[in-house]
Amino acid sequence: MNLHRHLSLGRAYAMEGDSTKARTDYQDFLTLWKDADADIPILKQAKAEYAKLQ
């Protein structure tokens, strides 16, 4: 599955107000990127967006 698809779906679900599905897709994205450099802008942004869902 495309890595960015999880992030796109997470964002879409968040905009729809479905925080459960949004969290799942953000978690999937972050799991796939767990070994990436923490300073990558898309990863930093995804972490910030995910934190708002908590």
Span 9-25, pLDDT tens digits: 999 999 999 999 999 99
User: Distance from CA of residue 17 to its chain's centroid?
Assistant: 15
Q: For the chain, what is the HEC assignment?
A: CCHHHHHHHHHHHHHHCCHHHHHHHHHHHHHHCCCCCCCCHHHHHHHHHHHHHC
- Could you give the CA distance from residue 31 to residue 44 in angstroms, rounded to a whole number? 13
pTM: 0.91
**pLDDT for the residue numbered 1:** 57
Give the pLDDT band (50/70/90) at residue 52: very high
- Residue 47: CB atoms within 10 A of its CB come to 14
